[in-house]
Structures are given as C-alpha cells and as structure tokens.
Amino acid sequence: MERHFDHDLSELKQRLLTMASQAETAVNRAIEALTTRNYDLAIQVKQNDEILDRGEVEIDELAIRLLAKAPLATDLRLVMVAMKISQNLERVGDEAAKIAKRARDLSQEPPVKINVDLPRMAGLALVMLKGALDAFVNRDSAAARALIPRDEEVDALNKQINGELTQFMMSDRDSIPRCLNLMIATRSLERIADHATNIAEEVVYLCEAADIRHTAK
Amino acid sequence: MERHFDHDLSELKQRLLTMASQAETAVNRAIEALTTRNYDLAIQVKQNDEILDRGEVEIDELAIRLLAKAPLATDLRLVMVAMKISQNLERVGDEAAKIAKRARDLSQEPPVKINVDLPRMAGLALVMLKGALDAFVNRDSAAARALIPRDEEVDALNKQINGELTQFMMSDRDSIPRCLNLMIATRSLERIADHATNIAEEVVYLCEAADIRHTAK
C-alpha cells in the first residue's frame, strides 16, 4: 500500500511536469504563429490542445486515487496543489489555442499597420509561466512570491495595448476586425499571466501552508 | 472523529450553497446594472466580489481538513466537487464584477444606438447557472447533463452579438469604446455559461463517478 502510494505520487509529479512543458510549448508556438503570421503552426497549436485536456483528466484521476489512501498532511497538500496546477495548465493550453485561432485568421489578412508591444507582453507572460513552473519544481517559495507582483506589469501592458488598438480602430475602420483579433490575443496573454500567478500562489501554499490568494489586490 | 467529519461535511455543503446564492445575486445585479445603466448598483457589485473570494478560500480550508480524515470514496468525491464548484463560483463572481465595471463606465456615457440581444444572452447564462446549482442541490445528474449542450446556444449568441457590434463600430467610429465595453460584458456572460457548464460536469461526476469533461466538443 505504502509503495503504491509512493509510486502513484511520483507518477503524479512526472505527469505534471510533462503537462507543464506541453503548456509552455503551446504558448511559445501560439505566440510565434501570431508574430510570424504562420498559418500552419497556428492550426497545429489548436489541434494539440486536447493533449492538455487529457492531461488534466488523468491527473485528477491519479489525485483521487492518492487522496483515497489517506496521505500525510504534506502529501495531501502536494496532491491538492498538483490538481490545481494541472487545471491552470489546461487553461493555459486553452488560451494558447485561442491565440492560435486569432493567429490563423490574421495570417490570412494584410498586416495591421500598428506597432503594439505584443512581443514584450508575450515575453513577460512566458517568463511568468516558466518562473512559476520552475518555482514548483524547485519548491522555491521566495521565487514564487517574487513573481506575483509582475502580473501587474502584464495588466498595465494589456491596458496600454488595448488603448492603442482602440485609437487605431477609430482612425482606420477597415482595421477593426483585425484589431479585435489582436485584442483577443492580448487578452489571452493577460490570462496566461493570471494562470502563472495562480500557479505561483499554489507553490507558496505548498511550501508554506499559507493561502495567499486574494490578498495581493 | 466521525462526528467531527459529519459536522464539517455539512458545514461545507452549507457554505457552498451560500456561495452559490451569492454568485447568482452578483450576476443578476451586474446584468441589471448593465441594462438599466445603474452606476451605484455597478459599484456595489464590484465591491461585493471579495465575499466570494473569501468563500473560495474558506471552502478549500474546510475541504483540506475533511480530506485529511480519510473519508469514504463517496464523501471524497463530494469534497473534491465542492472545491471545484466553489472555484467556479468565485470565477462567476469575477465575471459579474467585470460586467459591473463595464456597466459603471457605460452608465456615464450616452447609450449606444444598437439593439443587441444581450438580455437573451444574460437570461440564458443565468438559467444555466441556476440550473447547474439546482442540479447540484438535487443531485440530479440528468438535469446536469441536459444543461451542457445549452452552452453552445450561448456561444452562438456571443458570436452573433460580437458580429453585430463589429459592424456597428465600423459604421460609427465614435461608438467604438462603448461597443468594446459591451463586447467585454458579453464575453463575461459567455464565461459565466462556461462556469455553469463546468459545475454541471462536476454534478455528473458526483452522481455517476464519470469524468465527462472535454468529451462534448
């Protein structure tokens, strides 16, 4: 029984790491598809989303099996956190798929003649996601805590880009549908940073047994 | 020990029902603020959001305490489902707050001269939310299953309204910022229907021990 538990627990961790790397890849590719106007890559990201959907379901199954074995308090926290992180990664995959969908549509249209700082926002969202996952792997509560305030930078960039796109739409009405696609992609980046923040909060909970959600704002 | 467990379990259920009713109220009021252009009501909904934030944290605490007591498989499922439903309700609260924020801004501007079917979409999202929560209270798996396909109606309405707003923006550029506010509110309604779908899927899992997520699409 004990051995089964340890085996399932290490499988849970392994699967979560696989999911983390899949989610990161999806976001990277979606952003690449968007910025390089790559239709085929966009389609591929959209199609791969079900891998993360499956990951979430499988991790929940494993977690339920583990929870039924009455683990120690520290194991219990790890299982709970694994479930929450996997859920966030699944959502990250959804957002990557949404970006890919907009990238697909935008790749078929002339480029919008506006220079918004999407690459910086994408870079920041990715840094947050990678940082949160590294903090989980290294059980680094301080690194996780340091990440959380960066969400505000992403929110500020999101607001700025939305303002610029709105102005541009008002000056060039033919650009409206394409600008809306860019806005939706921007919003997905903002959501990815939110999920990274959630993951960081779960890491703090795992390391310190302190629930810090909803305390920052 | 056994008695503590039963006591905590019934407290968990009670708190979840309270949260459910708070989330429903928030959505109702946010929609009312939006449709009646009521500034004060919008501010109130935004301020009340922290009640649901707190609810989520408290339910997780209770759930962890319950899980540590090695419950039966059926209780275990209930605790897991309670956590997931509370998380969805917290997000519903977030979306209500977003709608309220847009309602607040829109109440300070002249009305947009376009008739989009926001009331129908809002009504449908509310029916789904209420239906999912009733299905949970009544442990009615069939009702929960019947609700899930309705999410597609909401998605279709969302698409339709977005198309109409985009067209209108192209014909009247001064309306662009206000139309964007309406689009964001519409998207929040769509997300509320998604959360209702998630809750319905959790009810199916609770009643049938079958994970049906990601199988519909």
- pLDDT tens per residue, range A151-190: 999 999 999 999 999 999 999 999 999 999 999 999 999 9
* In a domain? residue B214: no
A53 has pLDDT over 70 = yes
Structural domain tally of chain A? 1
Burial class, A133, CB count within 10 angstroms (exposed 0-12 / middle 13-18 / buried 19+)? buried
Q: In angstroms, rounded to a whole number, what is the distance separating the alpha carbons of residues A210 and A65?
A: 25
Which among B48, B75, B204, B193 has a CA at the least distance from the CA of B141?
Answer: B204
Which pLDDT belongs to residue A6? 85
Contact A166 B173 (CB under 8 A): no
- Residue A9 pLDDT > 70, yes or no? yes
Q: Residue B9 has what pLDDT?
A: 87
Structural domain includes residue A79: yes
Q: Which of A68, A177, A211 sits opposite B60 (nearest CB)?
A: A211
To 10 degrees, what angle do helices B118-137 and B73-107 make?
Answer: 160
pLDDT digits (tens, 9 = 90+) for A116-156: 999 999 999 999 999 999 999 999 999 999 999 999 999 99
pLDDT at B217: 47
**Contact residues on chain B for A183, CB-CB shorter than 8 A:** 180
B216 found inside a domain: no
B54 interfaces chain A, CB cutoff of 8 Å: yes
Q: What is the mean pLDDT of chain B?
A: 92
Query: B76–A54: do the CB atoms touch at under 8 Å?
Result: no
What's B64's domain CATH number? 1.20.58.220
Interface of B with A in 147-166 (CB under 8 A): 162, 166
For residue A20, pLDDT over 90 is answered with: yes
Quick check: B214 and A173 CB within 8 A?
no
Respond yes or no on whether ipTM tops 0.95.
no
Q: Where are the beta strands (DSSP E) in chain B?
A: none
What's the half-sphere exposure (Cβ side, CA atoms, 13 Å) at B23?
Answer: 34
CA distances from B147 to B153, B193, B199 (A): 11, 10, 10
A170 touches chain B (CB under 8 A): yes
Q: How confident is the model at residue B216 (pLDDT cuts 50, 70, 90)?
A: low
Interface test with B, best of A214, A215, A217 (most B CBs within 10 A): A214
**Closest-CA residue of chain A to B94:** A214
Q: Is the predicted pLDDT of residue A1 greater than 60, yes or no?
A: no
Confidence of residue A217 (pLDDT cuts 50, 70, 90): very low
Q: How many CB pairs under 8 A join A and B?
A: 62
Predicted confidence (pLDDT) per residue in B138-188, tens digit? 999 999 999 999 999 999 999 999 999 999 999 999 999 999 999 999 999
Tell me, yes or no, whether A214 lies in a domain.
no
Per cent of chain B over pLDDT 90 is: 79
Residue B215 is assigned to a structural domain of this protein? no
Average pLDDT over residues B99-113: 94
**Cβ-defined contact of B50 to A214 (cutoff 8 Å):** yes
The pLDDT of residue A69 is 80
Model confidence pLDDT, tens digit, residues B12-70: 999 999 999 999 999 999 999 998 999 999 999 999 999 999 999 999 989 888 888 86
Least CB-CB distance to A70: which of B64, B70, B213?
Answer: B70
> Number of C-alpha atoms within 13 angstroms, CB side, residue B214?
16
Q: Which residue has the higher pLDDT, A5 or A145?
A: A145
Q: Supply the range of the domain harboring residue B159.
A: 2-208
Predicted local distance difference test score (pLDDT) of residue A216: 59
User: Is residue A213 a part of any domain in this protein?
Assistant: no
- Confidence band for B71, pLDDT divided at 50, 70 and 90: low
**If you ran DSSP here, which 8-state letter would residue A175 be given?**
G
Q: How close, in Å, is residue A81 to chain B by CA atoms?
A: 11
Interface residue of B19, B85, B180 to substitute, partner A, most A CBs within 10 Å: B180
Name the residue among A67, A176, A213 with its Cβ closest to that of B76. A67
pLDDT digits (tens, 9 = 90+) for B202-212: 999 999 988 88
String of DSSP letters for B177-205: HHHHHHHHHHHHHHHHHHHHHHHHHHHHH
Nearest to A169 by CA among B168, B163, B188: B168
pLDDT band, very low/low/confident/very high, at A210 (cuts 50, 70, 90): confident
**Euclidean distance between CA atoms B58 and B80, whole angstroms:** 14
